[in-house]
Amino acid sequence: MKVAAIQHDIVWEDPEANFTRLAPMIADAAAGGAGLVVLAEMYSTGFSMDTARIAEPVDGPSTRFLADQAAAQGVWVCGSLPARAAGDDRPTNCLVLAGPQGELHRYAKIHPFGYAGEDEWFASGDRLVTVDVDGLRVSLFVCYDLRFADDFWALAHDTDCYVVVANWPAPRRAHWQTLLRARAIENQAYVVAVNRVGTGGKLSYAGDSAIIGPFGEELAVAVDGGDVGAEQTLTSDVDAAHVTDIRARYPFLQDRAAP
């Protein structure tokens, strides 16, 4: 499967503007043969804590956009968004994966970013999620989750590819780059990582999106655009058989203690 990682800017707290900007990018990725298209964390609003303003129902506009794009382009599309279920006080930072036949899968970010106060405004999820995407086992994570290796380890034996979407600020970009490669190498799985670029909420985002192979190969890496990055789409083939081969030739996972 060809995967497209769309490294994009985000218009602050303006979903409709972001839908308008992203639709042609998704269409271009699909036209280029992508079967899975990945957008950034909080792709339609930016990493805002104003949940009274930005939170949507679980089937709100940002979810419908992903579903509509998946159906229209015949691909899988994912990105995270602020989704609040009926009766809940707070939304979750929810990574929604939409499929071309109307499939909808949701992963609620397990580790809200307490350093920025996300935990005060967003509820945490309690369930790890892996989805079969046309024969590729894809596990879903959001930004700060990347720092918690045990969650990635827990899924390794049943995963071919980790998707990580983020709004990871430029001052800690070295951490992002290092941890992405660590998660791929230690779990012998692909990592498809999309971070936003530009500025929002008084922070700068460098992007540094990447597609890393299960032996730590850099299959696609964003061009360095400085602390505010540059929009670009990364593509690479991602093959479950390659994961199986690497794990057979280097059977490191079997020596790991069960979680």
Residue pLDDT, tens place only, 154-200:
999 999 999 999 999 999 999 999 999 999 999 999 999 999 999 99
CA distance 4 to 233: 6
Q: Is residue 99 within 8 Å of residue 75, measured between CB atoms?
A: no
What pLDDT shows up at residue 87?
A: 86
CA distance 228 to 206: 5
Q: What is the pLDDT of residues 42-94, one digit of tens each?
A: 999 999 999 999 999 999 999 999 999 999 999 999 999 999 998 889 999 99
Nearest to 106 by CA among 86, 130, 124, 87: 130
What pLDDT shows up at residue 259?
A: 57
Q: Is residue 185 within 8 Å of residue 215, measured between CB atoms?
A: yes
Degrees to nearest 5, angle at CA 38 with 228 and 97: 135
Percent of the chain with pLDDT over 70: 99
The count of structural domains within the chain is 1
CATH number of residue 189's parent domain: 3.60.110.10
Tell me the two tokens of residue 125: 């999820």
Catalytic residues: 41, 109, 143
Q: Cβ of 1: how many Cβ atoms within 10 Å?
A: 20
The alpha carbon dihedral of 237, 42, 196, 146 has a sign of negative
Residue in the structure block whose two tokens are 């503007």: 17
**How remote is the C-alpha of 144 from its chain's centroid?**
11
SS3 142: strand
Q: What is the pLDDT of residues 3-15, one digit of tens each?
A: 999 999 999 999 9
- For residue 64, the enclosing domain spans 2-255
- The DSSP code sequence of 39-72 is --TTTTT-S---HHHH-EETTSHHHHHHHHHHHH
E strand map for the chain: 2-7, 36-38, 56-57, 76-84, 92-98, 104-108, 130-133, 136-142, 161-166, 190-195, 197-200, 203-206, 210-212, 218-221, 232-237
